[in-house]
Chains A and B, each alone.
Chain A
Amino acid sequence: MDLVEKALVSRAKQQDIHAFAELVELYKDRIVSFLFRMTGNREDAYDLAQDVFLKVYSNFHSFDSSLRFSPWLYRIAQNLAIDFLRRKKKIVYLDEPLGDGDDRVWQIESTDPLPAEVAEFRDLEGALERALVLLNPLYRAVLMLRFVEEMSYEEIANILSIPSTTVKTRLHRAREALRQILVEQGYYEESQGGKKYGLQ
Chain B
Amino acid sequence: MKNPKGVKNMDCSKYRQFACEPDTTSLPKATLAAMKEHSQLCVPCQSYVAQLWEIEQGLKCLAMVKAPADFTRTLVKCLPTTEQGSTAWSLWRTVGVAAIILLFFGFPTYMLLEHPQTFVESNDVRAAVRIVGQSVIVPEDVVVKGDLRVYHASLWVLGRVEGNVYLVSSEHSLGDKGQVRGQIVRQTHLPWDKVVFGFRNISQELRSYLRGAWR
Partners in one complex: yes
In the assembled complex, A86 has its CB within 8 A of some CB on chain B: no
Q: Is the CB of B45 within 8 A of A193?
A: yes
Contact flags A113-134 to B (C-beta < 8 A → 1, else 0): 0000000000011001100000
Q: Is the CB of A128 within 8 A of B59?
A: yes
CA distance A159 to B62 in the complex (A): 21
- List residues of chain B with CB within 8 A of the CB of A24: 71-72, 75-76
The segment from A42-50, A70-78, A92-100, A103-111 that touches chain B is: A42-50
- List residues of chain B with CB within 8 A of the CB of A175: 20, 52, 55-56
In the assembled complex, A54 has its CB within 8 A of some CB on chain B: yes
Residue in contact with B56 in the complex, picked from A36, A147, A194, CB distance below 8 Å: A147
Q: Which residue, B4, B66, B74, has most C-beta atoms of chain A within 10 A?
A: B66
Total count of chain A residues near the partner, CB < 8 A: 48
Q: Which of A129-153 contact B (CB under 8 A)?
A: 129, 143-144, 147-148, 150, 153
Residue in contact with A29 in the complex, picked from B1, B55, B66, B84, CB distance below 8 Å: B66
Task: Name which residue of chain A comes closest to B42, CB basis.
Answer: A193
In the assembled complex, B78 has its CB within 8 A of some CB on chain A: yes
Q: Is the CB of A53 within 8 A of B75?
A: yes
Residue in contact with A124 in the complex, picked from B13, B48, B58, CB distance below 8 Å: B58
Q: Which residue, B45, B55, B56, B64, has most C-beta atoms of chain A within 10 A?
A: B55
CA distance A15 to B55 in the complex (A): 41
Q: Is the CB of B4 within 8 A of A57?
A: no
Q: Is the CB of A148 within 8 A of B20?
A: no
In the assembled complex, B12 has its CB within 8 A of some CB on chain A: yes
CA distance A53 to B61 in the complex (A): 25
Q: Is the CB of B13 within 8 A of A195?
A: yes
Residue in contact with A193 in the complex, picked from B44, B62, B78, B80, CB distance below 8 Å: B44
Contact flags A165-181 to B (C-beta < 8 A → 1, else 0): 00010011001101100
Q: B133 to nearest A CB, angstroms?
A: 66
In the assembled complex, A188 has its CB within 8 A of some CB on chain B: yes
Residue in contact with A15 in the complex, picked from B16, B47, B75, B83, CB distance below 8 Å: B83
Residue in contact with B65 in the complex, picked from A29, A54, A191, A193, CB distance below 8 Å: A29
Q: A120 to nearest B CB, angstroms?
A: 13
In the assembled complex, A90 has its CB within 8 A of some CB on chain B: no
CA distance A168 to B64 in the complex (A): 25
CA distance A42 to B66 in the complex (A): 10
Q: Which of B50-99 contact A (CB under 8 A)?
A: 51-52, 54-56, 58-68, 71-72, 74-76, 78-80, 83-84
Q: B195 to nearest A CB, angstroms?
A: 58
- List residues of chain B with CB within 8 A of the CB of A192: 44
Answer whether A191 and B75 are a contact pair too, CB < 8 Å, given A45-B65, A128-B55, A147-B60: no
- List residues of chain B with CB within 8 A of the CB of A158: none
Q: Is the CB of A193 within 8 A of B1?
A: yes
Known A-B contacts: A28-B71, A50-B78, A194-B13. Give 17 more (CB < 8 A). A20-B76, A21-B72, A28-B67, A28-B72, A29-B65, A29-B66, A37-B62, A50-B71, A54-B78, A125-B61, A129-B62, A144-B59, A147-B56, A175-B56, A193-B1, A193-B44, A194-B12
Q: Which 7 pairs, one residue from A and one from B, show the smallest C-beta to C-beta distance?
A: A193-B44, A191-B44, A147-B59, A28-B67, A193-B12, A33-B65, A191-B48
- B interface list, Cβ under 8 A from A: 1-2, 4, 12-13, 16, 20, 22, 42-45, 47-48, 51-52, 54-56, 58-68, 71-72, 74-76, 78-80, 83-84
